[in-house]
Amino acid sequence: MQKYDHIPRATIQRLATYMQVLETMKKDNIKITSSEPLATACDVNASQVRKDLAYFGEFGVRGVGYYVDYLLDAIKDCLHANREWRTALIGVGNLGRALLNHQEFNRRGIRIVGAFDCDPFKIGEVAYGLEIFCSKRLQEKVPELGIELGIITTPPERAQRAADQLIEAGVKGILNFSSARIVTPNHVYIEYVDFFHQIYSLTFNISTKN
Amino acid sequence: MQKYDHIPRATIQRLATYMQVLETMKKDNIKITSSEPLATACDVNASQVRKDLAYFGEFGVRGVGYYVDYLLDAIKDCLHANREWRTALIGVGNLGRALLNHQEFNRRGIRIVGAFDCDPFKIGEVAYGLEIFCSKRLQEKVPELGIELGIITTPPERAQRAADQLIEAGVKGILNFSSARIVTPNHVYIEYVDFFHQIYSLTFNISTKN
């Protein structure tokens, strides 16, 4: 158990946004910041930011603010975003290919080192430098390639099977882009990327607040 | 102002998940359900589900449960997910193309009717049935095509300009897939799709809880 084990989910998500804002500042050569720009980016108030940052000690310097570099490193440490995570992608369709070619993954240490599909026409093909393997070979490839995370980009009806194969092969966390809900054992973490949540926030707000 | 104007953001996101679960039930010909499966899907307790559903009146039938069809229609009404939303996509790279070909948009009434890019080599090309227009033509095309939403899939450094063009042309809401934070006026809603939030939830949980 580490010291950060009770950070709420909503805080984790804000930390990820703070990280993004701080990275932009670092690129722009800004050395010191305050809670306000971080608050604005997350649509919360400054006291919420201070509370979030208090989870891992006091980084603010009274009368000065936060040191961008120091805070950025602390957040990365906390989220374990400062190391490489070897990752498998299952489902090499349009979305899968777009993700295989998405530079942001590599830049952030998410290294997709294996691509899998169950379509015999795709198996053996090379997509963005990766040979596509049959999903049945996850069992062998996950330990061989040191894979810890899985990304599912299959059609919804194949998502549970893909998850089962990933879990059996030993991955610890799954990012699911398909629209299917997936059942996992307690020791395997699952996260959903479903941008219809965001779309419905838009359609709701546009329709009720204008 | 409508009756649903004070639903919190977290509730909206759960409603979107309930909708997904109920749609699966409907497909499986399940007529009646309870708060439990909805609670499980959102990782909340049943009383939270009942509280969420209470925002738009009482749908539960004592001793029976919820009628799947009726509840699904009520949630769709609430989120304004029961009509077509004409949408522009800006940035026809890998991710943009994957989204243009993503069947789920059409199925959910998000109709991408215009594709835009600023790369002269792409302008005029046809991608999934849509001619790619120069982004400068948004001003003319948004009203002509009755576009209300914009999807940004440009590189981060071009995202703000794409947003400005969409806003000037009159869109009411923007879904941003680029990693850049974007500034919009108050009357234009913006949502971010940043799956690194989810990835960092995974890396945090794997590292701290195992």
- Minimal C-alpha gap between B88 and chain A (Å): 13
User: Domain B9-79, what fold?
Assistant: Arc Repressor Mutant, subunit A (1.10.10)
Say whether B204 and A17 touch across the interface (CB within 8 A): no
CB contact, 8 Å: A23 with chain B? no
> Do B9-79 and B85-196 fold alike per CATH?
no
Closest CA to A50 of A29, A64, A63, A65: A65
Say whether A199 and B110 touch across the interface (CB within 8 A): yes
Which pLDDT value is given to residue A2? 46
Closest CA to B150 of A170, B141, A208: B141
Say whether A196 and B94 touch across the interface (CB within 8 A): no
Alpha-carbon gap, residue B204 to B35, rounded angstroms = 30
**A9-78: CATH number:** 1.10.10.10
Which chain B residues touch A180 with a CB distance below 8 Å? Answer: 24
Alpha-carbon gap, residue A204 to B12, rounded angstroms = 8
Where do the domains of chain A lie? 9-78, 85-196
The arrangement of secondary structure in B85-196, i.e. its CATH architecture, is 3-Layer(aba) Sandwich (3.40)
Could you read off the pLDDT tens digit of each residue along chain B, which spans 210 residues? 345 667 888 888 889 889 988 988 998 999 999 988 889 878 788 899 988 988 877 667 777 889 999 999 999 998 999 999 999 999 999 889 989 988 889 889 999 999 999 999 999 999 999 999 999 999 999 999 999 999 999 998 999 999 999 999 999 999 999 988 898 998 999 998 988 888 998 999 899 876
Which pLDDT value is given to residue A3? 55
Closest CA to A168 of A192, A145, A189, A140: A140
What would the mean pLDDT of A196-206 be, rounded to a whole number? 90
